[in-house]
Chains A and B, each alone.
Chain A
Amino acid sequence: GAVVSQHPSRVICKSGTSVKIECRSLDFQATTMFWYRQFPKKSLMLMATSNEGSKATYEQGVEKDKFLINHASLTLSTLTVTSAHPEDSSFYICSAPWTGGNTDTQYFGPGTRLTVL
């Protein structure tokens, strides 16, 4: 299947600093990518939709000034958590839709574990 990568896989930062997470589609182009957040033993919750060439769209309750999204190219989207606080600690996962053959799906990255001290 298609591959989506994320970097870094783990990051620990101090409260008040900013953290950038990269999401790349390695073998296909993605005009849209999605950013999800997952708390322990909880489901994936959509945070925002990243659109190449236009502004991201955010889900209700997600602070757009805190979670900055930039879709720099057809294979790269970045999520920057600004002025991170301990409550931002979570597992962040990106996905990209893929259509091939007679099916379509969304491929997910391996996730980034953010810990804010």
Chain B
Amino acid sequence: KAGVTQTPRYLIKTRGQQVTLSCSPISGHRSVSWYQQTPGQGLQFLFEYFSETQRNKGNFPGRFSGRQFSNSRSEMNVSTLELGDSALYLCASSSLLGQAITDTQYFGPGTRLTVL
């Protein structure tokens, strides 16, 4: 089974621009979560999508948004980029057949975003 894939792997943008990151979950997985990883902050939860609906949201400003398509692929968008948005953005998928959040999350390699 192919793992979680994220594109692009690296991205350089300037302040004020917007960016869209893509995530393809493991085949059959319906839940996709997004995380931001910065040094000293660990993995900060952004949001989770399940069957095209946002089920959970972290404490990030409205500039961060996402969506999920019918094939479970997900995109994350950040508008009006700020220097502090430079981070590794990780996507994770899980089967999440029920409401249990004990299903193991499988992570992609991440997209390294640098904002200049």
A and B associate in one complex = no
Residue numbers of B with Cβ under 8 A of A are none
